[in-house]
Structure 1
């Protein structure tokens, strides 16, 4: 049984064609015989082609990505993916980092990078919370801007006054879908 080199490419939007093509080129150059690809945001909870890639690989195979952020959206997500791969006997290779989990150094580097990324995110969130607390203490924090839903009564009133949807949108600064949603809620 021969082992396979399988690639996974992802961009956040379909507009990122240059980055997507570069990933595909790099994965092909790395010897990937099969490449799973998707163009959707990393915050999407469902990434069907990533799941297909993980299902497809077999013991002895290697899953290759160009960058770590193309694979996982967070440290817990990275841990989840690498655990699935490890359970199947599949190695992970990240081209931009020259990281290969088939080596002990590669395993160490993956854990270190993931831990550093998680630490950096925690620091950023802590700074954000501190900034919000300071702004609240100084009376500068206004909170989230009002949503269109809070303007539902105004939407219905303007419609009753004979305003068009476009007129309501312009006057209240809300989207077309928000106007229709408010009208449906009557």
Structure 2
């Protein structure tokens, strides 16, 4: 039996494209989660694995729907293999029932882990640069010193707050954040 598993990272995201692909692949049972792939506790995945029997195949739309770490993916694949359950990824073209499929699975799992580590490294480096520049979070403000000075001068005129915001090139909410009394 083919057992489908779909996952999105947040509640705002839509499972429909994955579920449709799993149905087209012939999955008879479908399970899903709306949770980060980095989370170990995913009830839908646990139910899918608990339901599966030897000879069944767990089918996912893409390998990263199962998890983000190489260790997690390899451990899951090994657990499934011990139970006689295959693993198939529609998009990645992986089927662990054969030697070549297991090799490709391990290569892609390593790539997923590497991608996650690269994102973490880039984020850490960008935060370090921002700290050196005196920024400690969030986006750089649009209200520069020049804009603040121009707004202060324009506040002495008959212009409305909306007109001043437009004239100095900021949104009205940014203007009010810096000039709340207006």
TM-score normalised by length of structure 2: 0.65
Report the more deviating stretch, 69-78 or 121-130: 121-130
Which consecutive aligned stretches of 4+ in structure 1 deviate over 3 angstroms post-superposition?
A: 123-136, 141-145
Q: Is the 8 A contact 2:60 2:90 kept in 1?
A: yes
The answer to whether structure 1 residue 87 and structure 2 residue 110 are counterparts is: no
Quote the offset at 1:60 in angstroms. 1.2
The answer to whether structure 1 residue 48 and structure 2 residue 43 are counterparts is: yes
Partners of 2:33 and 2:124 in 1: CA distance: 34
Partners of 1:42 and 1:72 in 2: CA distance: 4
CA distance 1:115–1:30, shift in 2 (3 Å): same
Larger proportion of helix: 1
Cα RMSD (Å) of the superposition?
2.5
Give the 3-state SS of the residue equivalent to 2:32 in structure 1. Answer: strand
Cα deviation per residue 1:136-175 (whole Å; 9 max; x = unaligned)?
6xx4255468xxxxxxxxxxxxxxxxxxxxxxxxx9xxxx
**In the alignment, what sits opposite 2:9?**
12
Partners of 1:144 and 1:68 in 2: CA distance: 33
Q: Is the 8 A contact 1:5 1:34 kept in 2?
A: yes
CA distance 1:125–1:30, shift in 2 (3 Å): same
**In the alignment, what sits opposite 1:30?**
25
The answer to whether structure 1 residue 57 and structure 2 residue 58 are counterparts is: no
CA distance 1:60–1:16, shift in 2 (3 Å): same
The answer to whether structure 1 residue 140 and structure 2 residue 133 are counterparts is: yes
5+ residue gaps in structure 2?
139-176, 178-182
Q: Is the 8 A contact 1:54 1:84 kept in 2?
A: no
Partners of 2:10 and 2:116 in 1: CA distance: 23
Give the 3-state SS of the residue equivalent to 2:91 in structure 1. Answer: helix
**In the alignment, what sits opposite 1:114?**
109
Larger radius of gyration: 2
Q: Number of aligned pairs?
A: 140
